[in-house]
Structure formats: structure tokens, C-alpha cells
Amino acid sequence: MGQLSETQLRRLEEHRYSCASTSLMDPLMQKWWCWLVEQCPLTLAPNLITITGLIINIITSLVLCYYSPDAKQEVPRWACFMCAFGLFVYQSLDAIDGKQARRTGTSSPLGELFDHGCDSLSTVFVSLGVCCSVRLGTLPYWMFFQCMMAVTLFYCAHWQTYVSGTLRFGMVDVTEAQFGVMAIHLISVIFGSDFWSLEVPVLWRPLKCVPTMIGVVAAIVALYNNFKIILVERGAGRNGSTVAGTSVLSPVVPLIYILAPAVLIAWKSPENLYLQNPIVYLLTFGCVSARVTNRLVVAHMTKSEMAYSDASLLGPGALFLNQYFNCPIPERTLLYVVCVYVMYDVVKYCRQVCLEICQHLKIMLFTIVPRCPPASGHGSEKNGSSSTTKYMTRSISKAKSH
């Protein structure tokens, strides 16, 4: 059976991207992004741009995890620089994929879905990378809270979108957070990761706790804005419901299915499963969160009900049942098996959804036939690049994703 029904595919054709942004840094970066997209050939597919940035981001983050598998060891300074550079590359490519789609006249709902799917995975690896850079594994519960907070914020942003029909970026949002992470990596490059172990006299905490504290303040503001829309303002659907006509509170159930097992399994583990394997543990639940968030994005774009059950939840379920029966399978062994399973499951789901949409819309995933945008004005332009420049200028106010 396919992941999407015929009804969902038909509704997907009618979907129109809606975004509102008050980001402080996005306007400052627009010149760089517009220049960068002009360097891309018109035959370069937007989704290929996105996946290239994601691969670079994942690889550079995994380098840090390799040198510090529990986020406690000091990592090489060059690895921190690579991670900062990889995130900058991902940010830049993620920002121009939508511009490239509009520039070539190949925008489609698939591009938006592909973009958000890559963002959901990037959130997991960026969180793990920054924990390794500051050696947050020496405070494992701070590390747990930071990573779970990151995936929760990403989910809630799309929960709000599912309710209101519009993706909203605040004044301090994704772009600002990415630059903050890059700054943390660069500080580790200059002073070394031991720098973050220095005590802050006023806080009576090591310096590595400061980014998490700042993140908590930003998270409170973001969650307040999201839940003000979810709980106070009326949804875009009938009688103030979600775009699918369901209860505005319905997406809370899948989120609980992620967070509750993550906390309970770590707390009840007789082998201290999380404390002994923090990176693998957080990667496992991060991939589960990415899978569920992608389903929420699909539900929003197809105006369909968000299903509570999900194949990826079998992984946390296996860990929970193993504890319930007094761990007949060694917890660490099962964790690694579950980690492989959930990573395979999220890739399989994303691949199948993309292929079904490609087949329905009769488009390719990583190749395009460019359709140049129509020239504007009363006279013809002196050259083709001038027309493209004008088209890009009109697109500056649009969102980064397709």
C-alpha cells in the first residue's frame, strides 16, 4: 500500500505555500542568497540542492560524534570548524532551493515537503553536534533536555502550521539559531572545547550551560507564540479546527508518544541506557521525531487527519517492553538495533512519499526541465540574466522553502 491516498494526492495539488516571517537576520542574508542562486545553472534541481546541503551537514556533525561518542571528550578544533562550515553550507543551500525553483519555474508541493523533511533531520544532527562541541555530555540531563527541546520546537512549529495554515517565523527563529550554533562551534575552534567547562560565577554553572539557558528563553517565546495561535486564535478549518477539520489538540498525542517513552526508558533503565549511550539514544528518538513530524507536514499539505500510530514508534515500544520483561535482550544491543531500524524507517518513508508525489505530479525528484519565468515590463531585457535578476528581486520577500 502507498503512503498517500488518491484523495491526499489530489489535495496536494491544491496546496499553496503560506509563510509569514519577522526574522531579524533573513533580510540581511538575502543579498548573499540571491547572489548564490544566480551562480547555479538552470538545469540544477532544487531538491538536489537541498539534499546536498543536508548530506554535508550530517557528515560534518557525525565527525564530531565520532571523536566524542558520549559528548564528553574534547574534540579537534578542525572538526568544530568543519561542523560550523557544514551548517553554513546547509543554511545557504536550504535558503536558495526555493529561489531556484521559482527561478526555473519548477515550484511544486514536493519541494516544500522535501525541504521540511530535510530540516527535520538536520535539527537532530545539529543538536548532537553542538552538544559534542561544548562537551555537554558531562551534564547528560542538560544534553537530553536540549536535544528534546529542539525536536519539540520543530514539531510545534508545524503543529501551529497544521492549525493556522501558515508557517510563521519569529524575530529570533531558525536562521538566528543556526548562526548561534555556528558561533558556538567557532568559539570551540578558537579556545578549544575545554573553554566551555569554565565556571560562570553568577550562575554557579559551567559556561556550557549558557547556550541551553538562552535556548530555553527563546523556546518559551516560540512556544508562547505557537500555542497562542493553537489555543486562542481560530484555526483555518471549519469552526476553528485545523486545516483538516480535526481538533487543534489532536497533534499533541504523537508528540506525547515520542517524549514520554524517551523520558521513561532513560529513567527506568537498569543498565543506565541513556547515560551510557547518549548520542545513540538521542539519535534514535530524534529520528522517530523526524518521522512523526514529516507525517504532520504531509497531513497539513494534504489537509488530512494526523494518524496517531506510526511504524517508527515500534522502536521505542520494543525498548519499553524489553524493560517491562526485565530486559531479556541486553538494552544496549536492542538500542543499536532500534536505532538502525528507525533510521531506515524514516528514510524509507520519505523516499516512498516523494516517489508517490513524483509519479502523481509527473515530475522527477532530482532532475528538472527548467521553464524560465516570463519577462516583465514593456520592453525586452538586454540579456537573460537581467530578467532573472528582476524575478529574484520580486522573490526576496517570499519564504526560503518552495
Active site residue 158: no
Exposure of 9 by Cβ count < 10 A (0-12 exposed, 13-18 middle, 19+ buried)?
A: middle
Sequence letter at residue 123: T
Per-residue cell: 235: 484555526
Per-residue cell: 340: 538502525
Q: Give the helix/strand (H/E) hosting 21.
A: strand 19-21
Contact residues for 210 (Cβ-Cβ < 8 A; gap 6+) = 200, 203
Q: How far apart are CA 86 and CA 129, in angstroms?
A: 11
Which of 116, 158, 185, 300 is catalytic? The answer is: 116
Q: Are 165 and 243 in contact (CB under 8 A)?
A: yes
| Residues constituting the chain | 402
Here the contacts of 216-224 (C-beta below 8 Å, separation 24 or greater) are 216/149, 218/172, 218/177, 219/149, 219/153, 221/170, 221/172, 222/153, 222/156, 222/157, 222/170, 222/173, 223/153, 223/156
Contact residues for 232 (Cβ-Cβ < 8 A; gap 6+) = none
**Helix 140-164 crosses helix 109-134 at what angle (to 10 degrees)?**
160
Per-residue cell: 396: 526576496
Q: Give the helix/strand (H/E) hosting 77.
A: helix 77-104
Exposure of 394 by Cβ count < 10 A (0-12 exposed, 13-18 middle, 19+ buried)?
A: exposed
Q: How far apart are CA 131 and CA 31, in angstroms?
A: 31
Q: How far apart are CA 99 and CA 350, in angstroms?
A: 23
Q: Are 103 and 373 in contact (CB under 8 A)?
A: yes
| Residues noted as catalytic | 116
